[in-house]
Structure 1
């Protein structure tokens, strides 16, 4: 019965795609990432008062809670963060730069027919265009359903390669939290300040994800790099970040322009990840170096 249901869904999906020549839709997603790993670094710091901690957390929150809009047709989509005005004292450029490194900013083009992705990225004002193949996802269909809004959704899971261009996917290394806590307890502020950030975190190779898709919108699209199911993905979680669809508009009156991105120096995902890690290392060295401040040019490594 389970396989029969899947075959029916797949058949309806194929019929829909072949006839939906002018079909277009818009989906709004709310993304929330746990701030636990970030705020743990504030624990035990005697220089940070409760008021300061609250202020820091509020300034960090926009990096961990974002709104995205997905414009899609039968074969392609453009996914981008909704732009919001900064509140007074919100931190300006540095927080915007960090937000971009954590999956925000820029546009994300995905073509499921050509199996291709294009992503705009910005580091210190240097624009890059990631041009790469769309990662394959081996989905496992699960016999569970639930309602998201007015749509009936089916569950699927997968072990998916991690997007190494998104710092939000980093995890603390084993023992890193204990090391920081010990330095704080011993009052070794200078040693703590010079601790290399890159030595304390790691990027996992893959992550287990859970997605909920609706065959009622039989488009093989979803937020970010997620795709490949016989229906629009309305919810996806990797245990740390959850992305949930809050609004859908089918065949909107004002259709969006869904086309390939062209702005920025072309690099692969792997090349951009190397550039990103190099710049983070440089920032760390300058922070602990004798001259401090400023930054170097953004040439390729």
Structure 2
């Protein structure tokens, strides 16, 4: 109850001062993804392994911009130079990206989203409903920059899995369901910016979410501009093959299996290499 009282007081003060003008803003977020990587190759020396690990670290450090108003938002990665390739001969790893082409539009009032993704040379337009998050408000506060933030958490079930191209020891015909584990996600939001929104697909709190800790993923806001001089443009993306979230996930799972089979070393081969990456576990 104490948390709710403080939030209501902050909201009433901020709303009084902002009602006179159209409310818009731009928030800048930086992401960092921890990962576990195991490299085992007769074709890869120590120097090559170090280069791959360092470049993978940089690959997971990204900058995003969230354009928002009271009811809608547009979340897009900042355009950056293409990541180079590492390796040579029969072994190469490409660290490319689709910076600027992937766009997530959310409408909090209508509870739907449109997620434009460029994947494997094809553009998809994922349209679906926003899944409600069962947040639990926590009696903890801290400042992020000049903004007083409150903590909230929720627990979700996720599959425990490894991503890699060295699964030759696994039964390819196995239809076993993946092992499920629980993960507690925490977020810090500020009622000083009274929008029920946040980065990526995090939303549903009484204030803009400025920080998210979701397993090995961290998203933190580094800059906020309220009512900038140039009007914020928020338009839903329109180009791409329309699919639901479930249909897109099925397509990606199928493509992932195809790539795993393509690059997996043949049984009995002594000259193969292996890479195992565990992300977000």
Normalised by the shorter chain, which TM-score bucket? 0.7 to 0.9
CA distance in 2 between partners of 1:104 and 1:202 (Å): 33
Question: 2:69 aligned with 1:73, yes or no?
Answer: yes
Pick closer, same or farther for the CA change 1:4–1:130 going to 2, 3 Å: closer
TM-score by length of 1: 0.74
Pick closer, same or farther for the CA change 1:204–1:253 going to 2, 3 Å: farther
- The residue aligned with 2:205 is 229
Higher RCO (CA-CA < 8 Å; seq separation 6+)? 2
Size of the alignment, in residue pairs? Answer: 260
Question: 2:209 aligned with 1:209, yes or no?
Answer: no
TM-score by length of 2: 0.79
Moved more, 209-218 or 279-288: 279-288
RMSD value over aligned CA atoms? Answer: 3.6
CA distance in 2 between partners of 1:134 and 1:61 (Å): 30
CA contact (8 A) 1:13 1:231 kept: no
Question: 2:53 aligned with 1:57, yes or no?
Answer: yes
CA deviations on 1:67-126 (whole Å, 9 max, x unpaired) are 111000010000011111135556999422xx56xx995000011000001101122211
CA distance in 1 between partners of 2:180 and 2:59 (Å): 21
CA contact (8 A) 1:17 1:219 kept: no
Of 158, 161, 175, the residue aligned with 1:172 is 161
- The residue aligned with 2:219 is 243
CA contact (8 A) 1:20 1:74 kept: no
CA distance in 1 between partners of 2:133 and 2:43 (Å): 46
More helix by share: 1
- The residue aligned with 2:23 is 23
Offset of residue 261 of structure 1:
1.6
CA contact (8 A) 2:79 2:100 kept: no
CA distance in 2 between partners of 1:60 and 1:111 (Å): 33
- The residue aligned with 2:79 is 83
Question: 2:264 aligned with 1:268, yes or no?
Answer: no
Offset of residue 49 of structure 1:
2.6
